[in-house]
Chain A
Amino acid sequence: MKESPVTRRRVLGTGLALGLGASIRLGPPAAPAFAQGKESFRFGVALPLTGSAAPFGQDQVQALEWAVSDINAQGGAGGRRLQPVIIDTQASPQVAVNVVTRLLSVERTELLITAWSAVTAAVSPIVNRNEVLALIIGANSPRIASMGDYVYTTYPLADVDVALLAKFALHDIKRKTAAVIHINDESGVYGARVFRDHFEKMGGKIVAFESYEPNATDYTGAILKLRVANPEVVHLQGNAGDSPQAVAQLRQLGIKVPITSYTAAYNPQLVAKIGTQADGLIVASLAPGKGDSPAVARYVERWMKEKGREPNNIPVTQYVHDGVYIVRALVEHLDRQGKPLTGKNLRAAMLEVRTFDLPLTGKVTINDNHTVVKPVYLLEVKGGKFTPLKLYE
């Protein structure tokens, strides 16, 4: 028998096929009993499954897959099975541009769920050009509101929670001087500016405004600068992956003042790695906790039962979970109208429905300016545990 020759073309072809297959993954298997003749609704999900943000992206995908399973188990979206096509962005804008382009051109999805501000900024021109509806869930750069007709967030941007943190620091805990340390990316730069601008506008003084690079793990220089400035409060605008390191290094260099941060620092890994040294960290969460809602309590129980732990950055996982319910509502709305499920129609459907009642995060209304406003829950680390501090309705 003649052996098939190993040619360069064959090796390259096999490698390419493996590479493409490895980075795309389909959602959970089919649930029973879907309406005959109705096609599944495939939608794209671009989240980090590897890289520094992987622990957070993976938990968000898990929450999304549970929501898809639950919806499909109940008969899907008006009889259509929901089928996410999940791709890995590594939270990197460069990677995201490549994989989202492929998702839209090869997989032909008409709706995309994605997150991370830098990723959103990079893929926005692509979704706008292709008229694909993008639901941004978890990114918080204020610029997201103006990234194009097809880019909508279902998650409040930094000018909601970060602005409130500035107010809380100045008025509630009476800190007149603040230092800001932020990661040098889309989310960090613009979120940090929101804190600085609001704090100064209300009469506070920013004594240091320092940054660190996304590919660094040693922030000693920036933190020494903060020590020199001797602030009464520090605001950290990092990402989920670097925030624990930043808080640890702030404390290890003797900065004992309260630290405010947004959801990125609301992370069980942070207190596990830092313990009581994290005391005095005040974070803003944009979703109800298990003490606020029975549905959230059941959701946390599900995590404990199936994974043996709480999710990383739980509020964002709640929003991603609920994002699938928005997708279901849009598909059902268009099916009722007998319209095709195109990105253009999905966008129109979202503006028609506008208000969605969601299981884990409650009611949300999409505003004309592409933003949403939700209650802000402040939590403080005390004795190495996150404890509720204040609710801004």
Chain B
Amino acid sequence: MYDSTILAQILWTSTATAGFQVLFTIAFAIVLKVNKIWNFTQPALMGIAFYAMYVVVNPLGGPVFAGVAVALVVTGATAYGIERLAFATLRARNSGPIAFFIFTLVFAQFAIYVLTLVFTTEPRFMLQSMIWPMRLVGGVVVSDWDLQAIVITAVLAAALYLFLHFTRPGQFMIAVADNADLAEIYGIDKQAAFRLAMVIAAVFITAAMYIFGARLALFPELTLHVMIFAVAATILGGIGSIFGAAAAAVSISILQQFSVLVVDSRWQPLLVFALLFVAIVFFPEGVRVRRRARADGRASLPAMAGASRAAE
């Protein structure tokens, strides 16, 4: 039998490495929930965020926080631009889901080609050193990167939860996600909610790319591979459930790492595709945990609309 230290190590490492996957998944899930778009421009935003940080930290020799700040601005502006110039235009033309889907794929490929031309296919490290300080906690190796990944993910996820449930713009986003046209009738600016969702996704993508880039190398095309995980988690977690998708991301990551106990590690990447296949065929609406109906603190549309008018 495997000893408890090994099991604890796998649990800890898989939880830490789930950090950036959770953030990527939330970014994907929030756009799907609010904008109703399978946002396959996300690999482009991931690449833009990473290389913005890389340029500031490496060739320019700037501090990491400056790199993150620049990446936030550049990625946020790109996400905003995509919604404002592309998604809004397609929506105004009453384009079908296939048009959105094709646009997002084309945009991602275009951005990846441009990034490849500029930065080549050479894997790049964002930081000068690949090594983080680490310590043994009860026989389990805990690195500063692990702690940072877990803390950033937890703080951002909690902040998003609070934002969605306890602020007006957040509640408006939920209202738009529930029924955009009805929300508009009640005076909510649905276009603003769409743009906000994209900008929030950009924030999560930037944070995730920081965590990723602080430990792993990236080349432009890798963003497409990393993205598959977010799609699988979003479907398994239940389309429209942001935190369900996040929980699914953690579960898949843990399942993937524990799978080394029974199968060769080279089969691990296949596991995500297998789960995606199972999810699409057998759980198209996600794996839902039954629970009793309860008041979830969300304001009703009429109540929010009243607040909106009052604010005006």
Chain A residues engaging chain B, CB cutoff 8 angstroms: 50-52, 54-55, 90, 184, 210-213, 215-218, 220-222, 224-225, 227-228, 241-242, 244-245, 248, 251-254, 273-275, 277
Which residues 187-203 of B sit at the A interface, judged by CB distance below 8 A? none
The answer on a CB contact under 8 Å between B217 and A220 is no
> How distant is B22 from chain A, measured CB to nearest CB, in Å?
15
Bound form: Cα–Cα A150–B222 in Å: 36
The answer on a CB contact under 8 Å between A253 and B260 is no
Contact residue among B125, B131, B259 (Cβ-Cβ distance under 8 Å from A277): B131
The answer on a CB contact under 8 Å between B141 and A52 is no
Contact residue among A184, A242, A244, A274 (Cβ-Cβ distance under 8 Å from B266): A184
B219 at the interface (CB under 8 A from A): yes
B296 at the interface (CB under 8 A from A): no
The answer on a CB contact under 8 Å between B131 and A251 is yes
Contact A241 to B131, CB < 8 A, known contacts A217-B218, A218-B17, A228-B2: no
Considering residues A213, A220, A254, which has the most beta carbons from chain B within 10 angstroms of its beta carbon? A220
The answer on a CB contact under 8 Å between B121 and A50 is yes
- Top 9 nearest A-B pairs by Cβ distance? A254-B141, A248-B130, A222-B265, A221-B265, A225-B260, A51-B121, A221-B268, A217-B217, A217-B216
B184 at the interface (CB under 8 A from A): no
Which residues 6-23 of B sit at the A interface, judged by CB distance below 8 A? 6, 9-10, 13-14, 17
Q: A220-B14, A227-B6 are in contact. List 19 more A-B contacts (CB 8 A).
A: A50-B121, A50-B122, A55-B122, A184-B266, A211-B265, A218-B216, A220-B13, A221-B256, A221-B265, A222-B266, A225-B260, A225-B264, A228-B2, A245-B216, A245-B217, A248-B130, A253-B9, A274-B131, A277-B131
B4 at the interface (CB under 8 A from A): no
* Contact string against A for B residues 212-245, beta-carbon threshold 8 Å, 1 for contact and 0 otherwise: 0001111101100100000000000000000000
Bound form: Cα–Cα A186–B30 in Å: 42
Bound form: Cα–Cα A184–B123 in Å: 17
Which residues in B have their C-beta under 8 angstroms from that of A211?
264-266
The answer on a CB contact under 8 Å between B17 and A228 is no
Contact residue among B120, B141, B260 (Cβ-Cβ distance under 8 Å from A50): B120
Bound form: Cα–Cα A241–B264 in Å: 23
> How distant is B214 from chain A, measured CB to nearest CB, in Å?
12
Which residues in B have their C-beta under 8 angstroms from that of A254?
9, 134, 136, 141
The answer on a CB contact under 8 Å between A273 and B129 is yes
The answer on a CB contact under 8 Å between B257 and A221 is yes
Contact residue among A224, A251, A273, A277 (Cβ-Cβ distance under 8 Å from B260): A224
Which residues in B have their C-beta under 8 angstroms from that of A55?
122
Contact residue among B122, B131, B221, B264 (Cβ-Cβ distance under 8 Å from A252): B131
Identify the closest chain A residue to B266 (Cβ). A211
Q: How large is the interface on B (under 10, 10 to 19, 20 to 34, 35 or more residues)?
A: 35 or more
Bound form: Cα–Cα A219–B183 in Å: 46
Bound form: Cα–Cα A220–B216 in Å: 11
Bound form: Cα–Cα A247–B268 in Å: 20
B101 at the interface (CB under 8 A from A): no
The answer on a CB contact under 8 Å between A51 and B13 is no
Considering residues A212, A222, A251, A252, which has the most beta carbons from chain B within 10 angstroms of its beta carbon? A252
Contact A253 to B13, CB < 8 A, known contacts A211-B265, A222-B265: yes
Which residues in A have their C-beta under 8 angstroms from that of B120?
50-51, 54
> How distant is A277 from chain B, measured CB to nearest CB, in Å?
5
Which residues in A have their C-beta under 8 angstroms from that of B2?
228
**Pairs across A and B, CB under 8 Å, 11 listed:** A51-B121, A52-B122, A52-B219, A210-B266, A220-B257, A221-B256, A221-B260, A221-B265, A224-B9, A228-B261, A274-B129
B58 at the interface (CB under 8 A from A): no
Bound form: Cα–Cα A37–B85 in Å: 65
The answer on a CB contact under 8 Å between B6 and A228 is yes
Bound form: Cα–Cα A275–B13 in Å: 23
The answer on a CB contact under 8 Å between B222 and A210 is no
B251 at the interface (CB under 8 A from A): no
Bound form: Cα–Cα A220–B128 in Å: 21
B78 at the interface (CB under 8 A from A): no
Which residues in B have their C-beta under 8 angstroms from that of A50?
120-122
Bound form: Cα–Cα A225–B9 in Å: 11
The answer on a CB contact under 8 Å between B265 and A212 is yes
Contact residue among B121, B122, B129, B215 (Cβ-Cβ distance under 8 Å from A275): B129
The answer on a CB contact under 8 Å between B6 and A90 is no
Bound form: Cα–Cα A110–B269 in Å: 43
